[in-house]
Amino acid sequence: MKKYILDTNIVINDPALLKQWSPRCQIYLPSFVLREVNNFGKRSKANTQAAEEIHKLIEDALSRGFIRFAYIDPKQFDRPAPGLFRTRRITTNDYLLAHFTLEFSRIKEGKNVTMVTDDVALYNYARSLGMNTLNLREFHSELAHFKTVSLDEVGARAAAGGYWLLRALAPVAAGALLALAGGLFINYFGLISALLGGGAMVALIAALAIMLLFIRSRWRLSYSILQVLLGLFVLYEGLGDVIDASAPALLVTLLAGLFLIMTGLDNLGKRAKGTFLEKYRAFIFKD
């Protein structure tokens, strides 16, 4: 992963960079950036608004893990040579940023660490130290080789992913709850009937029918699969190990199970119309 350490002027000149994300790079901001952005905001009213927007972008990018702060301790570096600031036309922060990047590149073996600045004096000074250095235009050109996306797009994709996951899990959960309710209803029919009475039982069955209708209207595919599984369950529980076609109750169970399976397959076929299952559907449905 490539690592870029941005000078404050890059953040001010192109704050939109803070909204670009790629898994192939990591952005670092020096710890003095916030102070310099504040100083920039004090120059005019327009700058104040721009500085506030930059702060919001930094906070958002930090919370998402796209950028990191690089704490720079002035005490960890040697004092600059006399006259360096005057001859190189750099500031104290420029000196600290250059030598921090140099030390950071040594720790990381220098292969993937680059300083980005639009300050010509700092750019030339960093190059004189043998560091990888880019200006804003060169940085944009290098980012073009990466597949970057907007942080807003990342958030939208995450929200969309959560929405589709919820849509996928909702019918499964509804079917599981319905199956559990149906199993309890069948096993304890006599007890429930005795406790609730005839009127309450009718209301309960009506509520179950409304729930089934809701699932069918919202998640027809899940409803059709539920129908087929319920039909198989009815056949399994009703037929048992011994088949006696002369028993009326057994015949009713057989017909009920087959009806559920047939209507489930019918709903499945209608739901599959216009999807990748269309060619398999054509073997049975001729409409």
Is the domain of 112 the same as that of 188?
Answer: no
Number of domains forming the structure of the chain:
2
Does residue 208 carry a pLDDT above 60?
Answer: yes
Q: What is the β-pairing status of strands 149-150 and 20-21?
A: antiparallel
CB–CB of 122/90 below 8 Å? yes
206 shares a domain with 140: no
Give pTM, 2 decimals.
Answer: 0.53
Residue 56 lies in a domain: yes
Q: What percent of the chain has pLDDT over 70?
A: 66
Residues 166 and 210 in one domain: yes
Domain boundary among 147, 174, 200: 147
Write the pLDDT tens digit of every residue in 64-82.
778 888 888 878 888 888 8
The CA angle 253-255-258, to the nearest 5 degrees, is: 105
Residues 105 and 175 occupy one common structural domain: no
In this structure, are 35 and 106 located in the same domain? yes
Is 154 within the bounds of a domain?
Answer: no
Same-domain status, 131 and 186: no
% of the chain surpassing 90 pLDDT: 17
70 contacts 100 by C-beta, under 8 angstroms: yes
Same domain membership, residue 170 and residue 112: no
Least confident of 44-48, 192-196, 255-259, 261-265: 192-196
Q: What is the pLDDT of residue 150?
A: 61
The tens digit of pLDDT for each residue in 107-126 reads 765 568 999 999 999 999 99
- Is there a single domain that holds both residue 12 and residue 48? yes
- Is residue 115 domain-shared with residue 175, that is, in the same domain? no
Q: Which CATH number goes with the domain that contains 142? A: 3.40.50.1010
What is the DSSP secondary-structure string of 117-134?
A: ---HHHHHHHHHTT--EE
Q: Are 68 and 29 in contact (CB under 8 A)?
A: yes
Residues 235-258, mean pLDDT to the nearest whole number: 66
Q: How many Å apart are CA 154 and CA 158, to the nearest integer?
A: 6
Residues 6+ apart with CB under 8 A from 230: 179, 182, 260, 264
Same domain, residue pair 212 and 135: no
User: Which residues span the domain enclosing 27?
Assistant: 2-147
| Residue 39 vs residue 107, higher pLDDT | 39
